[in-house]
Amino acid sequence: MKKLKVTGDLYESFVRVKYEIDYQNIDLKNLVECSFEFPLVEKVIVKGISVKINGMTILSEIMEKEEAKQTYEDEITKGSLAFVGASEKLKQKMVLKLGNLLPGASCQLTLETIQEIEFSGGSFMYVLPSSFVPDYTKHLR
């Protein structure tokens, strides 16, 4: 991961947050799988996930969880670039994966969420998670 940029827009009692994650495969011989995990809070809606690579934007398609996992695995097996996002409600996190990033290639993964802002003590309050943790342990041999 090269960069993480987080921006947001306030709309009355809702906030739209955009996470832009830049990846580069520094391995010049092998395809890599990039993964990114971030905490989920109550009342958050995922508006969209997209990948920008080589000037082209690939938009996400909503599927049942098992169908999405299988489609991702099928595309990875074929050697195609693929990405998937899935929430793990019990662990209160969302996991994004981008597989088969070509050697030396760069891409930008974008996630947009919409969340209701909490009203407390006469004021609106929004808390941005302070910890965004890529899971590098999955790539250790």
C-alpha span between 33 and 47 (Å, rounded): 23
C-alpha span between 122 and 132 (Å, rounded): 30
For residue 13, what is the domain's CATH number?
2.60.40
Percentage of the chain modeled with pLDDT above 70: 90
- Quick one: which H or E segment has residue 73? helix 65-78
**How many domains does the structure of the chain reveal?**
1
**138 belongs to a structural domain:** no
How many C-alpha atoms does 114 have within 13 Å on its Cβ side?
7
Range of the domain at 111: 3-116
**31 belongs to a structural domain:** yes
pTM: 0.78
Q: What is the pLDDT of residues 14-71, one digit of tens each?
A: 999 999 999 999 999 999 998 888 777 777 888 888 999 988 898 888 889 899 999 9
